[in-house]
């Protein structure tokens, strides 16, 4: 009996369910085409929902704000770390770029010098070491006997004389600077009226101010005179710039004078040098005719040209 | 009456959370359908008759509140509540897998029903694109929220069991 009732109940439920479902299905189409409006208006439901939505929205905004803040802080933290790494990388890059720029400038200057100093065969070299001795001034360069370097080869930069190669190993050499008290460079005053000769050697009292000795008293040498190599002695070719006279003093013996020299080369910034592997007599400069006064021009044979020549 | 009010309040809060709070984490405009999850849980807990009835009410409420096609949620949730209710005596209601699996199946079935109704209403769209762009996120969200919603519904079901 009860089983029959249960079956009837179940069948009724199923039919009810199907009917409701079909009913709703029809409602969807009727409502979609505007033939049916809900009894409970949207306004009622919206009004009932509004306080909850407002409260939860407010809470959501707060939570979202807090989460956003935390997220932003985390993002800023990671961004900060990334930026720090980037700054370090960029600094290194910048340093490297500045180094390249500096090297480029030096090499350009050296190249210009090499192109202008046609009487010399020059070999570029890098300074790879510098002796930190109080009494001597010696540098190491990255060229040696395997590059054809031998002792007594002069070393220069585009600005002037640096020193001379004193010791040679297969892949490196030692250069004695003109600042070294042991060095002796035959020099003379470049000024045509003077041409006073002397010897430049390192100054034990002032390591950056070499002195020119053996200058006869009352010689024509004044502050600012340019000092170049004289070519005497055979080590240094003639005409290499050494520096300019900073001060002239009488020697303690009273017969000679001493001139202190501002070197042309800045030895504090010595990075690239050139070794003179061979030198020859410089070719004479081509003669250029002097500028002629307009109206009095003459040709190469001295004959007047222009209106006066007709 | 108390029971009705408790459930009404519950639905209002859940829907408000869904529309005001969860919307902050919507993925391309897609979020969880928490009323569908509630419907499934109610079906498992209360049986097919009440499951269908509650589903119908939840869906109707959602239709009116969201302003969508009237009856479309009522229809799908009515069926979902009824079908879940059929299994109410055959499954373990405390199981974790039950609401999660039900959420997956209900979501897919409701989505397909939605799409068919929309086609019948004359709307043309790419079904496969919808499957990829809408059903995927919807299933993921519903599966994630299924267990917490089931726990909440079970808690309310137990609380209101003695109420009249």
Q: How far A52 CA sits from the closest chain B CA (Å)?
A: 6
- Token output for A207: 């390591």
Summarize the confidence of residues A133-155 as an average pLDDT: 84
Summarize the confidence of residues A111-140 as an average pLDDT: 78
- Token output for A273: 């040098």
For chain B, which residues lie within 8 Å of any Cβ of chain A, measuring from their own Cβ? 12-13, 15-17, 19-21, 23-24, 48-49, 52, 56, 61, 63-65, 67, 69-72, 74-75, 78-79, 82, 117, 120-121
Residues linked to residue A189 through DSSP beta bridges, in sequence order: A227
Summarize the confidence of residues B7-16 as an average pLDDT: 87
Q: How confident is the model at residue A88 (pLDDT cuts 50, 70, 90)?
A: very high
Q: Strand, helix or coil at B29?
A: coil
Q: Which residues contact A136 (CB under 8 A, 6 or more apart)?
A: A176, A180, A181, A182
Q: Strand, helix or coil at A165?
A: strand
Cβ distance A60 to B20 less than 8 Å, yes or no, reads yes
Is it the case that residue A307 has pLDDT exceeding 60? Answer: no
Mean pLDDT of chain B: 86
Q: How confident is the model at residue A309 (pLDDT cuts 50, 70, 90)?
A: very low
Q: Tens of pLDDT along B21-63? A: 777 777 877 888 999 999 999 998 988 889 999 999 999 888 8
Chain B residues within an 8 Å CB radius of A6: none
Q: What's the sign of the alpha-carbon dihedral A107, A108, A109, A110?
A: positive
Chain B residues within an 8 Å CB radius of A45: 61, 64-65
Cβ distance B20 to A53 less than 8 Å, yes or no, reads yes
Percentage of chain A exceeding pLDDT 70: 87
Percentage of chain A exceeding pLDDT 90: 31
- Token output for B161: 């069991």
Count structural domains, chain B.
1
Q: How confident is the model at residue A1 (pLDDT cuts 50, 70, 90)?
A: very low
Q: Tens of pLDDT along A216-270? A: 888 889 999 999 999 888 889 988 999 999 999 888 777 889 999 999 998 887 8
Of B24, B52, B67, the CB nearest to A42: B67
For tokens 């919307």, what's the residue? B23
Where is pLDDT greater, at A53 or A140?
A: A140
Q: From A12, which residue of chain B is nearest by alpha-carbon distance?
A: B49
Q: How confident is the model at residue A19 (pLDDT cuts 50, 70, 90)?
A: confident
Chain A residues within an 8 Å CB radius of B63: 38
Per-domain residue ranges for chain A? 2-37, 122-279
Cβ distance A45 to B65 less than 8 Å, yes or no, reads yes
Whether residue A120 contacts residue A134, with contact meaning beta carbons closer than 8 Å, is answered with no
Q: How far A73 CA sits from the closest chain B CA (Å)?
A: 19
Cβ distance A52 to B12 less than 8 Å, yes or no, reads yes
Q: How far A5 CA sits from the closest chain B CA (Å)?
A: 16
Summarize the confidence of residues A56-67 as an average pLDDT: 82
For residue B89, tell me if it sits in a domain. yes
For domain A122-279, which CATH number applies: 3.40.190.10, 2.40.10.350, 2.60.120.200, 3.40.50.800?
2.40.10.350
Chain A residues within an 8 Å CB radius of B70: 27-28, 31-32, 36, 38
pTM: 0.49
Chain A residues within an 8 Å CB radius of B12: 48-49, 52
Whether residue A227 contacts residue A187, with contact meaning beta carbons closer than 8 Å, is answered with yes
Cβ distance B21 to A20 less than 8 Å, yes or no, reads no
Chain B residues within an 8 Å CB radius of A63: 21, 24
Q: Tens of pLDDT along B104-160? A: 999 999 999 988 888 888 877 788 888 888 888 899 999 999 999 999 999 998 888
pLDDT confidence of residue B107:
93
Q: From A62, which residue of chain B is nearest by alpha-carbon distance?
A: B21
Q: Tens of pLDDT along A266-290? A: 888 788 899 999 887 665 566 676 7
Mean pLDDT of chain A: 83
Q: Which residues contact A114 (CB under 8 A, 6 or more apart)?
A: A120, A122, A274
- Token output for A243: 């520096």
Q: How far B96 CA sits from the closest chain A CA (Å)?
A: 28
Q: Strand, helix or coil at A2?
A: helix
Cβ contacts from A onto B, under 8 A: 81
Of A134-148, A169-183, A230-244, the range with the lowest mean pLDDT is A134-148
**Best interface-test mutation with B: which of A49, A50, A66, A68 has the largest number of B CBs within 10 A?**
A49
Angle of helix B34-46 relative to helix B72-86, nearest 10 degrees, comes to 30
Q: For residues B64 and A82, what is the distance between their CA atoms, to the nearest angstrom?
A: 50
Q: From A67, which residue of chain B is nearest by alpha-carbon distance?
A: B24
Q: How far A54 CA sits from the closest chain B CA (Å)?
A: 8
For tokens 């897919």, what's the residue? B108
Is it the case that residue A42 has pLDDT exceeding 70? Answer: no
pLDDT confidence of residue A131:
67
Rg (CA), chain B: 15
Cβ distance B71 to A57 less than 8 Å, yes or no, reads no
pLDDT confidence of residue A244:
94
ipTM of the complex: 0.71
Q: For residues A267 and A183, what is the distance between their CA atoms, to the nearest angstrom?
A: 15
Summarize the confidence of residues A183-202 as an average pLDDT: 90
DSSP B131: I
pLDDT confidence of residue A89:
93
């Amino acid at each position: 009996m009860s089983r029959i009732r249960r079956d009837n109940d179940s069948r009724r439920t199923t039919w009810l369910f199907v009917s409701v479902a079909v009913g709703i299905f029809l409602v969807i189409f009727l409502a979609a085409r505007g033939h049916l409006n809900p009894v409970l208006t949207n306004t009622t439901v919206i009004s009932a929902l509004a306080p909850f939505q407002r409260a939860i929205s407010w809470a959501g905004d707060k939570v979202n704000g807090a989460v956003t803040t935390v997220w932003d802080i985390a993002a800023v933290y990671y961004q900060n770390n990334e930026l720090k790494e980037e700054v370090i990388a960029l600094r290194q890059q910048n340093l490297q770029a500045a180094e390249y720029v500096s090297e480029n400038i030096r090499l350009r200057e050296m190249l210009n010098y090499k192109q202008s100093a046609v009487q010399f065969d020059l070999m570029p070299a890098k300074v790879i070491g510098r002796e930190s001795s109080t009494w001597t001034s010696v540098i190491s360069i990255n060229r040696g006997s395997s590059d054809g370097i031998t002792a007594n080869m002069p070393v220069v930069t585009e600005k002037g004389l640096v020193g001379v190669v004193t010791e040679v190993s297969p892949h490196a050499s030692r250069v004695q600077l003109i600042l070294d008290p042991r060095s002796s460079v035959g020099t003379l005053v470049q000024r045509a009226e003077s041409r006073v000769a002397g010897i430049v050697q390192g100054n034990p009292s002032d390591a950056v101010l070499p002195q020119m000795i053996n200058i006869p008293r009352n010689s024509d040498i004044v502050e600012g005179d340019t000092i170049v190599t004289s070519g005497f002695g055979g080590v240094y070719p003639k005409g290499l710039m050494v520096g300019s006279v900073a001060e002239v003093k009488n020697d303690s013996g009273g017969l000679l004078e001493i001139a202190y020299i501002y070197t042309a080369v800045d030895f504090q910034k010595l990075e690239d040098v050139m070794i003179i592997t061979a030198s020859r007599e410089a070719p004479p400069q081509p003669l250029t005719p002097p500028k002629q006064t307009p109206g009095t021009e003459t040709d190469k044979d001295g004959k007047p040209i222009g209106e006066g020549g007709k | 009456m108390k029971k009705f009010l408790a459930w009404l309040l519950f639905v209002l809060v859940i829907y408000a959370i869904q529309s005001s709070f969860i919307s902050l984490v919507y993925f391309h405009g897609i979020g969880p359908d928490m009323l569908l999850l509630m419907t499934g849980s109610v079906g498992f807990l209360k049986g097919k008759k009440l499951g269908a009835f509650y589903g119908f009410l939840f869906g109707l409420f959602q239709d009116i509140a969201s302003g969508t096609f009237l009856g479309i949620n009522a229809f799908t949730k009515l069926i979902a509540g009824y079908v879940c209710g059929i299994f109410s005596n055959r499954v373990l209601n405390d199981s974790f897998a039950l609401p999660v699996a039900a959420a997956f199946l209900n979501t897919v079935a409701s989505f397909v029903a939605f799409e068919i109704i929309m086609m019948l209403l004359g709307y043309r769209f790419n079904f496969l694109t919808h499957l990829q762009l809408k059903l995927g996120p919807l299933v993921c969200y519903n599966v994630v929220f299924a267990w917490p919603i089931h726990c909440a519904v079970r808690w309310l079901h137990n609380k209101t069991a003695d109420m009249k």
